[in-house]
A = this chain, B = another copy of it.
């Protein structure tokens, strides 16, 4: 099958610590931005898919699909929430596309929203640890960051590499984030300063790990036919998508340094899109930890095993390189709004392919990809988008 689905509107809030803004108000802001961007009104929307990871865990608010539908002016509409840790956003886009593809909806809003500042300290860590295998990992005190540290140490050991090979990922993310008004961190990281950053969980330091933040992002999907009818600008079409899963627990994986879920998801998306890694001109990957960036580049076919880091080391991932990544700052600098991250990625790819990315524009981008992970790669979602002039 081929998709017949296009993105016709995007809206985002800044990612950050929005202490004064509730979950529903973040959602409202993003949804209104997306409607305005699409020149749509609420009565154009037939369905609402919410991506949210921790509403039930941190804010004790479940059932937010109906709650938000009502709050953003869509009372009565079909609405659901999808959760798979920080891969919620990518999965929500997938299901929304199927609603259109199957004919039950013409136009669907996909809205990712996350509110982490309702709690601080150990309760927030309990929330983040809920992305791992709680009985076998979190119960022993491990967190996603601690598990990323195990992965990173194993990577450095197996391939005999120093910590500094990861430097390029953070420098690129922060350089790009510095030009994005919605980014959580807009400071740049000086080359050579990476290894001096305070350690979070050896060897992961502050520059390796993305900050979680509050935020909301919305995209509006419609049938390609409807998109052509409404838009005077080029159409950004979803041409391929794939989902893969793996064990949550790292110790259950035969080969910890191969992200099997990413390999499955990317393979399925490339196959459907009839594209290969060489066709991708802009890539938003899930850089929650630098080691995960390297491993994603390898598992998705952008680099050989053990050589993902070279794409950062050689500048290939920078805006002027062959495979620009994290072009608005990525999770690292734009900020990681957990369940909303997959929607931020799709919105950013849309801006790139529309050539509306302002200071973050990758010249002439026509084909882009988003890779969205849950936890340490228990879930992976890949989407390929193409500009149709």
Q: Does any Cβ of B come within 8 Å of A37's Cβ?
A: no
Q: Does any Cβ of B come within 8 Å of A120's Cβ?
A: no
Docked pose: A102 CA to B100 CA in angstroms: 9
CB of A81 within 8 A of CB of B80, answer no
CB of A243 within 8 A of CB of B79, answer yes
Docked pose: A319 CA to B335 CA in angstroms: 57
Q: Does any Cβ of B come within 8 Å of A75's Cβ?
A: yes
CB of A245 within 8 A of CB of B66, answer yes
Identify A63's interface contact among B60, B62, B131, CB under 8 A.
B131
Encode contact with B along A80-100: 1 for CB under 8 Å, 0 otherwise. Answer: 111111010001001100110
Q: Does any Cβ of B come within 8 Å of A142's Cβ?
A: no
CB of B75 within 8 A of CB of A247, answer yes
A337 to chain B, nearest CB (A): 15
Identical subunits present: 2
A76-B245, A243-B79, A245-B79 known; A66 vs B378 contact (CB < 8 Å)? yes
Of all chain B residues, which has the CB nearest A374?
A: B63
Interface residues of A in 234-260 (CB under 8 A from B): 242-248, 252, 260
Of all chain B residues, which has the CB nearest A87?
A: B63
CB of B135 within 8 A of CB of A22, answer yes
A residues contacting B by CB (< 8 A) are: 1, 22, 24, 53-54, 56-57, 59-63, 65-67, 69-70, 74-85, 87, 91, 94-95, 98-99, 101-104, 126-127, 129-135, 138, 242-248, 252, 260-261, 264, 374-375, 378-379
